[in-house]
Amino acid sequence: MLKNLPQLEADPLWGLLNKFHADQRENKIDLLVGVYRDESGKTPVMQVVQDAEQRLVDKAESKAYKQLSGNTKFNAQIAQFLLGDSKKIDTQCTIQTVGGSGALRVLADFITYLSPNAVIWNTDPGYINHRPIMEAAGLKVEKFRWQQKHGELDLDACFTDLSKAKAGDIILLHGCCHNPTGIDPTLKQWQALADYCKRSAVIPFIDMAYQGFGDNPEDDAAGLRLFINQLDLVLVAASCSKNMGLYCERTGAAMVVTDNTQQLENIRTVLERITRANYSMPPEHGAAIASLLFDDKKAWFDELSTCRNRIVNVRQSLGAVFRELNAPLSVQIISQQKGMFSLLPLTAEQMVILREEFAIYGTANGRINVAGLQTSQIRTLAEALISIIKS
């Protein structure tokens, strides 16, 4: 059997991370992996998470199997967190998944099961794992441009590319804090995208991986809720990795919202059949932690706002240095973007120079994790970028 094993390249992101760890320079800067870091460069465990874990230890409940849909209280809570006071809360089916990536794969399998010829329209550039997940489920993936023009999303470019989509196709959107560009639609642009879906009978699939890392949890969900309230069918993948810091606990949810309420139980059955054939049921610990955080949102939101404000301050400080150094507008725009990530206007060759000459590590396509940048490193990054661009 192993004689047929293909020789595959290692994951490029983790390959770069290995290079970073092997780099002996003391001034090296890691802007690779998408995790939040505080000013000391560490990814902290939120105090509310630590407190929740202690409560779970003290309670010491059974480790017996849960339901295939996971923690039912968590499912109801994250649905409420996503949808707010929308009346569609009664027309959704939500199951717990193995992280946000697990939610993406479960819903990709759901699409394949019901509509195998549907094409997934993915942003270009887009999250590095979107295409592999969709293709692994047997789906065809096409792309549409996601770029900035005059300080906001270039909708004309989006719709020019999406003109080739057909009824029943899927448009995969980031609910907020677009990865990797940091370019989010305005509410008016969200409405234009929703109108496009209604007009073209294209089904929205919204990845909510960063709710609370843009403006605040409510405003970050505004685009999603607009879609939910106006369209007959919306697919949603959600993650607790970033906004609760539960990265390795792999806590997420897959949601299907439909006006066809008679199909809700059938939808749950299909989703559970998909998970049963993959991992049976999701792990309980992260969902139990998340449920306790949902019970006391204020304490959690306070810590979350500290993380969000640090990212905003880093962006603003970076923008101030760029203006001071008379940097090109192509890099100054980073200060206006949202969330953890931005794309540098550098080629793959220039990213190598950034790494080899300046010890600053980003991905080959120019993505940097702004949330990994410390205040003391801001001027170093700005000067390196300007030097490379001008040369």
Q: What is the pLDDT of residues 123-182, one digit of tens each?
A: 999 999 999 999 999 999 999 999 999 889 999 999 999 999 999 999 999 999 999 999
pLDDT of residue 10: 78
pLDDT of residue 355: 97
Positive or negative, the CA dihedral 150, 154, 157, 160 is negative
pLDDT in tens, 272-287: 999 999 999 999 999 9
Question: How would you write 244-259 as a 3-class SS string?
Answer: CCCHHHCEEEEEEEEC
Question: β-pairing, 251-258 with 233-239?
Answer: antiparallel
pLDDT of residue 62: 87
Question: β-pairing, 29-30 with 148-149?
Answer: unpaired
Which residues have CB under 8 Å from 249's CB, separation 6+?
240, 283, 285, 286, 289
Q: Are 127 and 207 in contact (CB under 8 A)?
A: yes
Torsion of CA 279, 281, 282, 283, to 10 degrees: -110
Query: Span 204-223, mean pLDDT?
Result: 97
pLDDT in tens, 43-72: 999 999 999 999 999 998 889 998 999 999
pLDDT of residue 273: 97
Among 15-19, 98-102, 271-275, 285-289, whose mean pLDDT is lowest?
A: 15-19
Neighbours of 324 (CB within 10 A): 10
Question: How would you write 125-176 as a 3-class SS string?
Answer: CCCCCHHHHHHHCCCEEEEEECCEECCEECHHHHHHHHCCCCCCCEEEEECC
pLDDT of residue 136: 98
- pLDDT higher than threshold 90 for residue 215: yes
Domains of the chain: 12-44+299-390 (3.90.1150.10), 65-295 (3.40.640.10)
- pLDDT higher than threshold 90 for residue 312: yes
Positive or negative, the CA dihedral 343, 345, 350, 354 is negative
- What is the rounded average pLDDT for all residues in the chain? 96
Q: Are 179 and 213 in contact (CB under 8 A)?
A: no
- Band (189; pLDDT cuts 50, 70, 90): very high
Q: Are 124 and 97 in contact (CB under 8 A)?
A: no
pLDDT of residue 84: 96
Considering only CA atoms, which of 387, 251, 346, 324 is closest in space to residue 31? 346
- Band (14; pLDDT cuts 50, 70, 90): confident
| Phi, psi for 234 (deg, rounded to 5) | -140, 135
Question: β-pairing, 251-258 with 92-98?
Answer: antiparallel
Beta bridge partners of 97: 252
Rounded to whole angstroms, the Cα distance separating 181 from 204 reads 20
Read off the tokens for 3: 């004689």
Q: Using a pLDDT cut of 90, give the percent of the chain over it.
A: 94
